[in-house]
Amino acid sequence: MLAGRRIVLGVTGGVAAFKAAYLARRLVEAGAVLRVVMTRSALEFLGPQTMAAITGTPPLTELFGPDTVSPHTELAAWADAVVVAPATAATLARMASGESDDLLVATILAFEGPVVVAPAMHTEMWEHPATRRNVAMLAGDGVRLVGPVSGALAGGDEGLGRMAEPEDVVAAVVAVLSGSDLSGWKVLVSAGGTREPVDPVRYIGNRSSGKMGNAIALAAARRGATVTLVTTAPPPHHPAITVIAVETAAEMAAAVWGAAPHSDVAVLAAAVADFRPAAPAPTKLRRSAGPPDLVLEPTPDILAGVAALRPRPFLVGFAAETGPASGASEKVAAKGVDLLIANDVTAPGAGFGGDTNAVTVLTPAGAVEEWPLQSKESIADRLWDRIVEVRSH
């Protein structure tokens, strides 16, 4: 998978540093040539001799030393990819600000290729506004984030912040080194929650922020696709993304159905209202008139409309559930999708408006795969990995 590819593995100072040794072994087994950079804090958790034994080369630890004049620029020129695993909150902050006072961040700043980062920290640190800003900045700079996931943490705690498993990090490295694996693809994404007017002031809506759909669109664009994003939410900015702003289900249906015949893949992540007022009031309803009697009618089934196209794009649907995602299993065949992504919006960390999600991936053949709680950016990239895999067979 990685035969002859040159990878710099950065190890930072967290308890998850022990996983870096296993990750190094997996990268070497995949054929990669590895150079390891360990921060001073990493040396408190993992011995450099361990990494030397696995890679065949002693790890580098200092920006200034007698062995080479400019280790960071030499490493940056040598590498095909840089992987930081685990990446602590402090390292994410230095990367986001460009604070290159250690060998690892200096190497990343001098490097022009793909960077894969596997964060690991306590839940409170991951959820802190400063970390969230740094993560958003790094994602905007094109850094590939893998995890974190939910599970056991240091000190016996449980929660979101556990480093992704080494196998998932290796898969991400393979994906980024495959080049622009979506190059030439025309991708359609829907995002956000629709608003169905009751009168010119009020509407029926939902709590969807559009963050999941935005992450999917942005990940596709970064991987080389030309993206049409039909959204009710503020969109991400990328030159490969064309935005069609809509508000109602009818407007979204018209935009999606217009773009779908020209798309290779359609990922419909929007939270579309199932019903709308049949006769919206032309002027503002007054309190003095008493509660109105609202008669509702169905909105267009956008997913079914795309599924009925012949030919149709590879189709991914989303289903927001209020309970176990297994309740969406009947929808896979009924909706005629290639993949269905379901999530329990009542589960902690997986509801509307957050920066994380936990989903269940269902296929028409009956396969069910649980993806644990992780960042929406990580879910988005993992979804495109899966779409590439399924479409290639």
Residues 207 and 78 reside in one and the same domain: no
Residues 170 and 202 reside in one and the same domain: no
Task: Report the chain's mean pLDDT, rounded to a whole number.
Answer: 87
Q: Where are the extended beta strands (E) located within 232-383?
A: 241-245, 265-268, 275-277, 296-298, 314-321, 339-344, 356-362, 368-375
User: How crowded is the C-beta side of 115, counted as CA atoms within 13 Å?
Assistant: 23
Residues 171 and 195 reside in one and the same domain: no
Determine, yes or no, domain membership for 1: no
> In this predicted structure, what is the pLDDT of residue 66?
58
Tokens of 300: 């267009």
Residues 197 and 157 reside in one and the same domain: no
> What domain range is 56 assigned to?
6-177
Q: Quick check: 37 and 104 in contact, CB under 8 A?
A: yes
Q: How many domains does the chain fold into?
A: 2
What Å distances lie between residue 31 and 27, 232, 331, CA to CA?
A: 7, 45, 41
Confidence band, pLDDT 50/70/90 cuts, at residue 205: confident
72: region left, alpha or beta (phi > 0 left; psi from -120 to 50 alpha): alpha
> In this predicted structure, what is the pLDDT of residue 207?
83
Residues 12 and 123 reside in one and the same domain: yes
Residues 121 and 233 reside in one and the same domain: no
206 is catalytic: yes
Determine, yes or no, domain membership for 24: yes
State residue 145 phi and psi, 5-degree precision: -95, 135
Confidence band, pLDDT 50/70/90 cuts, at residue 301: very high
> In this predicted structure, what is the pLDDT of residue 86?
92
> CATH number of the domain that 92 lies in?
3.40.50.1950
Burial class (CB in 10 A: 0-12, 13-18, 19+), 98: exposed
- Interhelix angle 103-110/89-97, rounded to 10 degrees, is 40
**Tens-digit pLDDT profile for residues 85-128:** 899 999 999 999 888 888 899 999 999 888 999 999 888 889 89
**Tens-digit pLDDT profile for residues 39-57:** 889 888 888 888 898 888 8
**Tens-digit pLDDT profile for residues 238-252:** 878 999 999 999 999
Residues 325 and 214 reside in one and the same domain: yes
Which of 151, 177, 203 terminates a domain? The answer is: 177
Q: Of residues 134, 206, 343, 357, which has the active-site annotation?
A: 206
Average pLDDT value for residue range 224-230:
93
Determine, yes or no, domain membership for 43: yes
Residues 149 and 218 reside in one and the same domain: no
Residues 195 and 171 reside in one and the same domain: no
Average pLDDT value for residue range 288-316:
92
Average pLDDT value for residue range 305-310:
94
* Nearest-angstrom CA–CA distance, 11 and 19: 10
State the pTM of this model: 0.65
Burial class (CB in 10 A: 0-12, 13-18, 19+), 179: exposed
